[in-house]
Amino acid sequence: MEVLNQSTIDLDRYFKRIHYKGDCARSLNTLFDLHLSHTQHIPFENLDILLGKSISLALPDIERKLINNKRGGYCFEHNLLFAHILNILGFPITRLAARVHYRTNKILPRTHMALLVHHDGSNWLADVGFGGHGLLLPLPLKENVETTAFGWTYRIKRIGHLWALELLQKESWSTLYSFSVEPQEEIDYKIANYYVSTHPDSPFTHTLIVQSVCPKERKILRNKVFTVQTPSSLFQKELKDDEELLEILLNEFGLSFPPNTRFTFKE
């Protein structure tokens, strides 16, 4: 377990970024409220990669990007920031590495970051960085306990020595990712981040992905297809050009770019 005593993060600016006005006491209510506020107000996105920029995991750079510049990021940026916030508030955590299974039958490397939060003898899976199909609220690390929040139902299963996070979709369970509870070090994420942001086999190097979640709906932009999903409906729209893409980024995700911005991805 990890607890930090000092931080350069400006808590007030972070709370303003995620529209959080709740308590800072070390309680499950605080954990749940922070998790929900973060996922609703900081989108998941890989746009810097498609602009030819590198992804820094240094905390000051993450703070500048996600908080000060009001951008989004992907799992390492989101969960490293959230882990630091939780540590400031006194929550012991274990940083995890997960293998994504969603929409693939391939064995992929452990390139997803999640968190295990320890509170009063119980363990909670927290993850503010999985994007459109990810958690809105933490889940107890208990096998086969179904948890429904805002119409979305999840559970955690055991697969041998591993745990697996599953989402109920159309009356069947989809495995999002699997993980062990082995603590990860910063260098582990640096290696995974380099692979995810530079390797041609990584979808983040050639596919535009922007996603946000809230209790009522989930918004997903994949290249030029914009999707809005609720627990009971699905809306899709194909964007006609780069200008409409920039409008969607601003109006639906709060991400502002100059009018001539062009992202490099395979359509």
Q: Could you count the other beta carbons within 10 Å of the beta carbon of residue 98?
A: 25
Tell me: the pLDDT tens digits for 246-261? 999 999 999 999 999 9
Which tens digit of pLDDT belongs to each residue from 4-57? 444 578 999 999 999 999 999 999 999 999 999 999 999 999 999 999 999 999
8 Å CB contact between 11 and 184 = no
Q: Can you give the pLDDT at residue 8?
A: 75
Task: Give the separation between CA 44 and CA 204, rounded to whole angstroms.
Answer: 12
**Cα 6 vs. chain centroid, distance in angstroms?**
24
* Spatial CA neighbour of 193 closest among 182, 181, 205, 183: 205
Q: What is the pLDDT of residue 95?
A: 98
Catalytic residues: 75, 112, 127
Q: Which residues contact 68 (CB under 8 A, 6 or more apart)?
A: 13
Kind and range of the H or E run holding 187:
helix 186-198
Say which DSSP state 166 is in.
E
CB within 8 Å of 113: residues ≥ 6 apart: 75, 76, 79, 80, 95, 96, 97, 98, 129, 184, 189, 192
Strand order in the sheet with 139-140: 139-140, 122-126, 112-119, 93-100, 172-179, 162-169, 152-159, 147-149
Q: Domain 11-203, what architecture?
A: 2-Layer Sandwich (3.30)
The pair of structure tokens assigned to 206 is 């050639």
Q: Phi, psi at residue 106, to the nearest 5°?
A: -80, 155
Query: Which pLDDT value is given to residue 1?
Result: 56
Amino acid at 20: Y
Domain ranges of the chain: 11-203
Burial profile 216-239: b = 16 or more Cβ within 10 angstroms, e = fewer: ebbbbbebbebbebeeeeeeeeeb
Question: Which tokens in the block code for residue 217?
Answer: 């709906």
How far apart, in whole angstroms, are the C-alpha atoms of residue 177 and residue 113?
A: 10
pLDDT recorded at residue 7: 56
Token pair in block for residue 62:
């993450």
Of 72, 17, 8, 84, the residue nearest 204 (C-alpha): 72
- Specify the residue for token string 């009356």: 171
**What pLDDT digit, counting tens, does each position of 208-245 carry?**
999 999 999 999 999 999 999 998 899 999 999 999 99
| Structure confidence by residue, pLDDT tens digits, 129-172 | 998 899 999 999 999 999 999 999 999 999 889 999 999 988 89
Q: What pLDDT, on a 0 to 100 scale, did the predictor assign at position 2?
A: 55
